Structure 1
Amino acid sequence: MTAPHTSGEPVVRPAPHRWLWYALGGGLPARSRGWVLHDTTTGTWWARHVVRSLVQMAVPIALVMVVLPAPWGLRVAVAGGGVALGLVYSLAYMVEATENRVVKAGYPVGTAGAIREARWEEREERDRRRRREAAAKRAARYRDRAGR
């Protein structure tokens, strides 16, 4: 299975332990190169980025919850603040982080952004075409009712 706008490489999903390594910032084997491009350019690329960020924050947050010598309410507040701050930074550098993953997989800089932009333009063109067709149908219906 290949995704549109890719180099035609197969999309080979990594094993769970390799995905965990990938989520923590590690690289994947060459056979998963097409999947990295798919992961960073699919329609849900931003949600996938958020999930990877939460996985990265899981260990420090778990340590705060277990090791911090404080009441549970304070532990939860500190962990929640950490997650919120981590997500702010993660979202602020989302495009750069996903582009870095694509470069790490061996693609040129800007590949993921160019693919996402091309897909956005295709989607916009489909929406424009759909709106034009709907407007033409409404106009025809109005002409038919008016007896013209």
Structure 2
Amino acid sequence: MGVVRQRPNPAQWIWYSLGGRLPGRCREWVLHDTTSRTWVWRHAARSTVLVGPLMLVWLLLPGPILLRLGLVLMAGLVGYFYSFVYLEEAAENRLIKHGYPRGTGKRVRAEAHAEEDEAIRQRYVAQYRTPHE
């Protein structure tokens, strides 16, 4: 039987999204959260917890609607841009914070795609690296 992953409750998940540390019983869930095939979408959801309230505040400020929409658009673009630029580093830092050694996330994700990556490499070698006669 595999390791049981205990999900955080909604309040814990918000705390985790803001950069907080979850209880030890959620450690395996953190590994899953940062290495599953949906880990990028999960990162986007966590980023929305940070960027969303700022965007909402700017949308609700008094002023011309085009100015407010422009502020919301810029906040979203800048916030998500920087969030995704540091995607892998953020995932690794979450894992380190929960007791995993540095590089665990990258290694687990690489192992999950090892066969697929090898097939891609083999197709590349067959197409571009064969000697020409």
TM-score w.r.t. length of structure 1: 0.75
List aligned pairs for 1:13-28, cutoff 5 A: 13-28=7-22
**Aligned structure 1 segments of 4 or more residues deviating by more than 6 angstroms:** none
Cα RMSD (Å):
1.8
2:56 is matched with which residue: 55, 58, 62?
62
Q: Tell which structure's C-alpha radius of gyration is larger.
A: 1
- Counting matched residue pairs gives 121
Structure 2 counterpart of 1:48, one-letter code: R
Q: Structure 2, unaligned stretches of length 5 or more?
A: 124-133
Number of the residue aligned with 2:127: none
The partner residue of 2:31 within 26, 37, 40 is 37
1:120 to 113, 127, 130: 113
CA distance in structure 2 between the aligned counterparts of 1:93 and 1:52, rounded to whole angstroms: 13
Q: 2-side partners of 1:58 and 1:14: how far apart? A: 21
Identity %: 42
C-alpha separation between the residues in 2 aligned to 1:15 and 1:122?
35
Task: Mark the runs of 5 or more structure 1 residues left unpaired by the alignment.
Answer: 3-8, 132-148
Q: How far apart in 2 are the matches of 1:90 and 1:10?
A: 29
Distance 1:80 1:113 in 2: 31
